[in-house]
């Protein structure tokens, strides 16, 4: 049996489709744009058909491309499964594992355990990325994404890692100079710290509805935390990122019990595709990290 398509060309083709452009695919694969373009052209020549319609504004799959992309994904996935099966003969997961999580989760929950994990699994190469918004696992070639909040994507397999309660917190020096805070309604007289690019995170799940006005916003959860520690106002933070600050006195919990619990923002899930060829690496990481998390 003869196969005309080369794996590098298939990877380039899939990356172009997933990212929407040759330049984005080249950046993702760490290739020159010309190399990606040559790979796709070589694949089209081998198959004797056009897979992508190229215009100055956009790329579109042809009818042949729409048909072939499914087989290309399945083929590469099958090859990776085969390689994984060979590695498992040695009872030792190996290969690259790409993990994505919001920056506060990476900083406060993952980094301290990486050394121990790499000692336990020396043949697994970790690639950690931080996105504070939900990413497409295929587009970013991510194996595991750790997401905070309820799950909505039914195409992904989810493993619940636990729940992390929310706390209203502020720095002691802010509270010393700020107005009194006897109840939830008094929040309208305080400086509140919120999120710039995630409006739903600015709807705090309070037991009593209140009008919230944010004096300052940031796009990163870790920046919100740093602003609170710096005395810039009151923030609503997950326990996993502020517990150490509360225990050390850098932050003080205000209005205990004001936040409804459980609520939609407490769930912590690890998500990945069900047919992933890197399942042994995924399970090795999740089994290792879950009991070590301090949610």
Q: What is the mean pLDDT of residues 74-92?
A: 75
Kindly report the average pLDDT of the chain as a whole number: 89
Tokens of 64: 């042949």
pLDDT tens, 166-210? 999 999 999 999 999 999 999 999 999 999 988 889 999 998 888
Of 54, 138, 123, nearest to 90 (Cα)? 123
**What is residue 75's three-state secondary structure?**
helix
Question: Tokens representing 20?
Answer: 């929407």
Q: What is the pLDDT of residue 289?
A: 96
Q: What is the pLDDT of residue 153?
A: 59
Length of the chain: 295
Name all domains of the chain by residue range, CATH numbers in brackets.
7-88 (1.10.10.10), 95-164+266-292 (3.40.190.10), 166-253 (3.40.190.10)
What is the predicted pLDDT for the residue at 2? 53
What is the predicted pLDDT for the residue at 277? 59
Residue 291, CA distances (Å) to 165, 180, 286 in order? 17, 40, 9
pTM above 0.85, yes or no: no
Which pLDDT does position 1 carry in this prediction?
42
Q: Are 51 and 65 in contact (CB under 8 A)?
A: yes
Burial of 80-91, coded b for 16+ CB within 10 Å and e otherwise, reads eeeebeebeeee
Helix (H, G, I), strand (E, B), or coil: what is residue 270?
strand
**Phi/psi at 216 (5° precision):** -150, 145
pLDDT per residue as tens digits for the range 221-260: 999 999 999 999 999 999 999 999 999 999 999 999 999 9
Contact yes or no for 160/268 (Cβ under 8 A): yes
């Amino acid at each position: 049996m003869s196969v005309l398509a080369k794996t590098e060309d298939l990877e380039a083709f899939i990356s172009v489709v997933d990212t929407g452009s040759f330049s984005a695919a080249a950046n993702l694969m760490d290739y020159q744009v010309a190399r990606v373009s040559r790979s796709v052209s070589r694949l089209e020549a081998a198959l004797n058909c056009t897979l992508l319609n190229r215009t100055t504004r956009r790329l579109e799959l042809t009818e042949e491309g729409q048909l072939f992309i499914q087989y290309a994904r399945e083929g590469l996935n099958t090859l990776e499964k085969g390689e994984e099966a060979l590695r498992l003969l040695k009872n030792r997961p190996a290969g690259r594992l790409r993990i994505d999580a919001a920056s506060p989760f990476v900083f406060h929950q993952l980094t301290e355990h990486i050394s121990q994990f790499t000692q336990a699994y020396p043949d697994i190469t970790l690639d950690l990325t931080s996105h504070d918004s939900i990413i497409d696992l295929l587009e970013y070639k991510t194996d595991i994404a750790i997401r905070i909040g309820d799950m909505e994507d039914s195409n992904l397999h989810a493993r619940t890692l636990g729940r992390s309660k929310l706390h209203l917190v502020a720095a002691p020096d802010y509270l010393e100079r700020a107005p009194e805070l006897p109840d939830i309604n008094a929040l309208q007289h305080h400086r509140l710290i919120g999120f710039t690019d995630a409006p739903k995170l600015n709807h705090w799940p309070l037991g009593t509805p209140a009008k919230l006005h944010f004096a300052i916003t940031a796009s990163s959860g870790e920046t919100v935390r740093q602003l609170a520690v710096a005395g810039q106002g009151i923030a609503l933070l997950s326990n996993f990122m502020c517990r150490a600050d509360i225990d050390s006195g850098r932050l003080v919990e205000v209005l205990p019990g004001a936040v409804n619990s459980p609520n939609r923002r407490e769930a912590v899930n690890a998500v990945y595709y069900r047919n992933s060829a890197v399942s042994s690496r995924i399970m090795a990481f999740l089994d290792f990290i879950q009991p070590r998390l301090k949610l």
